[in-house]
Structure 1
Amino acid sequence: MGIGSLFKQKRKQQSKQKPAIEFDTDLKTNLDKNLEIIETMLEKPNDLVIRELSLGRPDYRCAVVYIDGLVDKPEINNNVIKNLQYYAEKQELPKNTNDLINEVEKELISTGDVSKGKTLDDVSFALLYGSAILYLDGIDQVLMLDLKGWQTRSIEEPVTESLIRGPREGFIENLRTNMMLIRRHIRDPNLRFKTYQIGRRSKKNLVVSYIEGIVHPDILKEVNRRLKTIDLDDAPESGFVEQWIEDSFLSPFPQIANTERPDKVATAILQGKIAIILDGTPFVLIAPLTLGNTFQSPEDYNERWLIGTFLRFLRYGAAFLAMFLPSLYIALVSYDPGMIPPKLAFSIAATREGVPFPAAIEAFIMAFTMELLREAGARLPKTIGQTIGIVGGLVIGDAAVQAGVVSPIMVIVVAVTAIAAFAIPSYSTTIAFRLLRFGFMLAASFFGLYGVILVYIMINIHIVNLKSIGVPYSTPYAPTFFHDWKDLILRAPIAMQTRRPAYMQTVDNKSRDKEKH
């Protein structure tokens, strides 16, 4: 049987499948009918628990419905079921249905977060999100009890953003816990958390956090507009949201920051930026983002200003080496050896004697090998990955030199380039520089230093045209905001930083009252 016949047969089988069952969105007054609908909709899964009870008198029934594993069962037993069973001894029921559901809500349910649901969509979402549903016979409303109790990871130090000096707590996969961590850092009554639901099927909660009275209204409006356009079945990680709302999906540069550190998010919010928190991931998004932000680390502010400034100079130097060093090696060795000091030129020529490849091919081989080792080390278990990265680099580099495939100076260039890339705080920016490095190397292979300069000009043109939520990516370099240069390459003393970033155009631009100090 041919492939075409198999596809036709599969289509016929799919056409014979029963269509999805459509349910009336309104709840019924009959308890048995409501329970039958919820069982049919979920196809009676093993983890669906339905506990029927008598309320007030033996002939009046109610039911508690929940998904086992998503709720806190001791809370349900102690604060819901026991209370309902105790009420059965009173033998009194209000005749009016509204009075009954209000009395149950106010007098019998000993849990804090209780809401009413009137549609099947309300019930299904709450049930699958870890709430218990209380059905009352004869009433077309339910009580939804927020009693989530699934297992969550404890608060730990972020793995991807470790600091020598700074807080040791990081976000986890629980949305409420992440919101709590931000509130612990910012105790401002103007701190806002606006909730969205994204994902046609997953219906995950997404929270936008900002401080009213600081954030620029137009930036907030634009973020909300973009979030409302998200149309996905599911967003398992905040990277899906980032890619959906970013300004240019063709740019290698990250336009929205991501972090696991609550202190970093709190600082960004106080600067007038917006945090986007997605349930199910420890990575929180920060928007907007500028190129200068990618070189900043929370540790810059935890140390004295001289140390912070020195560290930033190191990072900018590391970025230069990570992007330009291999291409400069290719351009100088292949096209402009006269620009190299004579002694160094003779030394490089001596080490390259017997190497069968030109400098460009040699550089591409070593750079590609280093990327393979880095990727392999990241995918293996932590202990094995570190061993593969270190031992693999040493063994392959030494073996390549001994075999005469590459020169020792090329191994040094690639090693310095790899180390410099790790000095950049933003992992997304590091990947961008790694990609651009190959572009510089290719240009240097064909045009020498002219090619490197041309690619550098093109990248600068791209950066000044790039935006993040409408904010120019190259600020405060261009457009120029000289006041913001106090916290750019230079990290000025804390006492001198009296205003929030000017490029954010915040409503309240003063971070402290200068006259009080």
Structure 2
Amino acid sequence: MLTLKNIKDLFSNYKKNNENNKPKVHIKNTLQANIDLLRQELDNPSDLVIREFNIKDYRCAICLIDGLTKGDYAHDLLLKNLLVDIWTTDKIREIHSVDELFSALQNQFIALLDISVVSEFDELFLNLLSGDCVLFVDGIARAITIETKGWVDRGIIESSSQTLVRGPKDSFNETLRTNTMLIRRRIKDKRLRVESRQIGRISKTEVAVMYIEGIANDKIVKEVHERLDRIDIDGIIDSSYIEQMIQDHPYSLFPTVHNTERPDTVASSLMCGYVAIVVDNSPFVLIVPGLFITFTQAAEDYYHNFYFITFIRLIRFFSLLLALLTPGIYIAVTTFHQEMLPTSLLISISNQREGVPFPVFIEALLMELTFEILREAGIRMPRAIGSAMSIVGALILGEAAVNAGIVSSFTVIIVSLTAICSLIIPSYHISISIRVTRFIFMILGAVFGLFGVISGLVVLGLFLCSIRSFGVPYMYPFAPLNYEGLKDSIIRFPLWKINLRPTLISEHDRVRESSDKKSNNTGGIA
């Protein structure tokens, strides 16, 4: 049966086949023709550096893009290797033809790690614009590309979005190889796989899929590769592009792909059987499958005592429910179910609302929107004044609104409590989902009362239980219920008790720690 998905796949394959069938431009055997074509295709940019020189009687040229190569590499290659050292070797006297020179350059004279030979300009342009040097030899219809990538990048600094008190302080940056290095430093296992591809017809962004063979689910790995192969776009600027194109249920408010800028989080996820997607030019690494429980956990949850972390996780889940339901319940109770409130509290709320010109729903909606505006303004403003502005602005506006009789004090308290609870959620993406869903519950509470709030909660629960992320139920280990998975969910067992990897994520090597090696250290120095 021909479905919409199949039609899209056929159209995507048709476009890719058309691109692959374009005539290839081969490198010429004339040096000047190659240089002219290079300048013509790139429109002779100001940062294109071309240095021509002679080796014996043969003309050669080095081409590079200024700023994309390491300066010392290019200097050593041009001045030291090809213009100085080459004349001190006896092998230069053995060269009697241009073919012998090209072979010697490829195998002996260029003392750098990674070189390759290309015969087409498409491949040459890709390497040149990625930071490699290109060496032409007059009379040879091929070119040598030398690995000299070395642009200025951001150093390895502490994460700005996922801070912690105890644990590693490093974070990813915008360079793919730096990010894969940070992961390899933590996983020194030969089974760690790094499989790269280029996505984007114009940007040609490098994307690496990382997983541990024998631990990761083969079906999930295959599905990741298939979804990446189906992407047909002109450019990938950030990993969020990939995230939006491979996620399940793209119209859902709740994310199904996890992202992080912490190497320790990625390393621990890989060892549990997850798959990581590293995108060049992005400091955020994607982790799939993205389950609801993973968005509520922080990296620091595994660096402290399990009693303390269990307490913190219970507070976190309770705060999540408060952030989601408190305004809706407040609107429902004060509008339809006043008899549920204690008499003294009901009188206090009534006295506070005396003179307020708006119903409770409009009052709460105005305050919620005001807090969202202040929150967004605090993010967009310079960091030095952003946080202070959002806090002070909320206090000043809240007090001014109460004094002006626009809102009641109790409404300000409810909205403030909701805002604080939403800040406790570790994942910014799930926090946004909760904040948006909160407005839906406010509407349900204003129209249908507590019946609407409870019905909405049931529908939301059924929806979350019905969706999947790369074939894994989104609410695992709650639905379906899994005892081993519950050991690291709302509560956290001691590390020596979490000795098995998640069932639906890792199918093969599931044992993390032998059960006979659990902690039982009760002795001491006598």
| TM tier relative to shorter chain | over 0.9
Give the corresponding residue for 1:450: 451
For residues 123-180 of structure 1, what are the alpha-carbon distances to aligned partners after superposition, in whole Å with 9 as ceiling and x for unaligned? 1000000000011122222111111121111100000000011111000001111011
The match for 2:36 is: 36
CA contact (8 A) 2:484 2:498 kept: no
Aligned 1:373-384 pairs, distance under 5 A:
373-384=374-385
Deviation at 1:96, TM superposition (A): 6.3
State the secondary structure of the residue aligned to 1:405: coil
Report the 3-state secondary structure (helix = DSSP H, G, I; strand = E; otherwise coil) of the residue aligned with 1:92. helix
Equivalents in 2 of 1:219, 1:463: separation in Å?
20
1:54–1:88 Cα contact (<8 Å) kept: no
CA distance in 1, matches of 2:346, 2:209: 57
SS in 1 for 2:363: helix
Query: How many Å separate the matches in 1 of 2:495 and 2:197?
Result: 36
1:353 aligns with 2:354: yes
Deviates more, 1:504-513 or 1:254-263: 504-513
Distance 1:83 1:290 in 2: 53
For residues 515 and 100 of structure 2, the distance between their equivalents in structure 1, rounded to whole angstroms, comes to: 58
Which residue of the partner structure matches residue 471 of structure 1? 472
| Structure 1 residue 241 displacement after superposition | 0.3
Secondary structure of the 2:83 match is: helix
Deviates more, 1:77-86 or 1:33-42: 77-86
1:500–1:98 Cα change, 3 Å: farther
- The answer to whether the 8 A contact 2:24-2:122 is kept is no
Deviations 1:41-97 (A, max 9, x none): 001111101111111x2x311111000111112211213442212325765364566
The C-alpha deviation readout for 1:227-283, integer Å capped at 9, x for no partner, is 011111111111110000001111000100110100000010000000100000100
Aligned AA for 1:190? Answer: R
Q: How far apart, CA to CA, are the structure 2 residues paired with 1:72 and 1:482? A: 53
Note the alpha carbon deviations across 1:157-215, whole angstroms, 9 max, x for none.
00000001111100000111101100111111111100010111010100000001100
- Number of the residue aligned with 2:183: 182
Letter in structure 2 aligned against 1:342: T
| 1:98–1:309 distance in 2 versus 1, CA, 3 Å | farther
> Residue in 2 aligned with 1:12?
none
Which whole-Å deviations, capped at 9, do the CAs of 1:402-433 have from their partners, x for residues lacking one? 01110000000000000000000000000000
Q: How does 1:245-284 map to 2 (within 5 A)?
A: 245-284=246-285
Amino acid at match of 2:202: R
Provide the C-alpha distance between the structure 2 equivalents of 1:277 and 1:102, rounded to a whole number of angstroms: 36
Matches within 5 A, 1:301-340: 301-340=302-341
List structure 1 runs of 4+ shifted beyond 6 angstroms: none
Q: How does 1:231-242 map to 2 (within 5 A)?
A: 231-242=232-243
1:266-312 Cα shifts (integer Å, max 9, x gaps): 01000000010000010000000111111111111100000110110
Distance in 2 between residues matched to 1:481 and 1:501, nearest whole Å: 9
**How big is the shift at 1:386?**
1.4
Q: 2:279 & 2:358 partners in 1: Cα distance?
A: 50
Counterpart position of 2:80: 82
Compared with structure 1, are the counterparts of its residues 428 and 386 closer, same or farther at alpha carbon in structure 2 (3 Å cutoff)?
same
Q: What does residue 127 of structure 2 align with?
A: 126
1:476–1:503 Cα contact (<8 Å) kept: no
Identify unmatched segments of 5+ residues in structure 2.
Answer: 1-21, 519-526
Question: Paired residue for 1:419?
Answer: 420
Q: 1:10-61: per-residue Cα shift (whole Å, max 9, x none)?
A: xxxxxxxxxxxx9852111111111111111001111101111111x2x311
Check whether the contact 1:80–1:108 (CA below 8 A) recurs between aligned residues.
no
CA apart distance, 1:480: 1.4
Partner of 1:401: 402
Q: Which residue of 2 aligns with 1:439?
A: 440
Task: Write the distance in 2 (CA, Å) between the matches of 1:344 and 1:228.
Answer: 60
- Partner of residue 8, structure 1: none
Does the CA contact (< 8 Å) of 2:58 and 2:98 recur in 1? no
The residue that corresponds to 2:231 in the other structure is 230
Q: In 2, Cα distance between the equivalents of 1:175 and 1:395? A: 45
CA shift at 1:104, angstroms? 1.0
CA contact (8 A) 1:29 1:140 kept: yes
For 1:419-455, what per-residue CA distance to the aligned partner results, in whole angstroms no more than 9, with x for missing partners?
Answer: 0000000000000000000000001110000111121
Q: 46, 57, 69: which is aligned to 2:67?
A: 69
- TM-score (ref. length: structure 1): 0.93
Distance 1:376 1:125, change over 3 A: same
1:244 maps to 245
Q: Which amino acid aligns with 1:124?
A: F
Give how far 1:99 is off: 4.4
Kept in 2, the 8 Å contact 1:27–1:120? The answer is yes
Deviation at 1:514, TM superposition (A): 2.5
Structure-2 separation of matches of 1:267 and 1:406 = 47
Instruction: Count the aligned residue pairs.
Output: 494
- Contact preservation (8 Å) 1:80, 1:109: no
Is the 2:215–2:273 contact (alpha carbons within 8 Å) kept by the matching residues of 1? Answer: yes
- The one-letter amino acid of 1:323's match is L
Moved more, 143-152 or 438-447: 143-152
Contact 2:119 2:141 (C-alpha < 8 Å) held by counterparts = yes
Q: Secondary structure at the match of 1:503?
A: coil
CA RMSD of aligned residues (A): 1.5
Local SS of the residue matching 1:489: coil
Identity of aligned residues (%): 40
Give the counterpart letter for 1:48 in structure 2.
L
Q: Equivalent residue of 1:144, what SS?
A: strand
- Say whether 1:45 aligns with 2:61: no
Change (3 A) 1:436 1:305: same
Q: CA deviation at 1:378?
A: 0.8
Measure how far apart 1:505 and its partner are: 3.6
Structure 2 residue aligned with 1:15: none
Over 3 Å counting, the alpha-carbon distance change for 1:404 and 1:516 in structure 2 is: closer
SS of the residue aligned with 2:507?
Answer: coil
Query: Which residue does 1:511 correspond to in 2?
Result: 512
Distance in 1 of aligned mates of 2:23 and 2:95: 31
Which amino acid in 1 is paired with 2:59?
R
**1:201, 1:344 → 2: CA distance?**
63
C-alpha displacement at 1:101, in angstroms?
2.8
Q: Secondary structure at the match of 1:251?
A: coil
CA distance in 2, matches of 1:506, 1:27: 49
* Contact 1:463–1:473 (CA under 8 A) maintained in structure 2: yes
Corresponding residue number in structure 2 for 1:218: 219
After superposition, the C-alpha distances for 1:337-386 in whole angstroms (9 at most, x for unaligned) are: 11112222222112111111111111101001111111111111112211
> What TM-score does the superposition give when structure 2 sets the normalisation length?
0.92
Contact 2:154–2:173 (8 Å) recurs in 1? yes
**1:27 matched to 2:22:** no
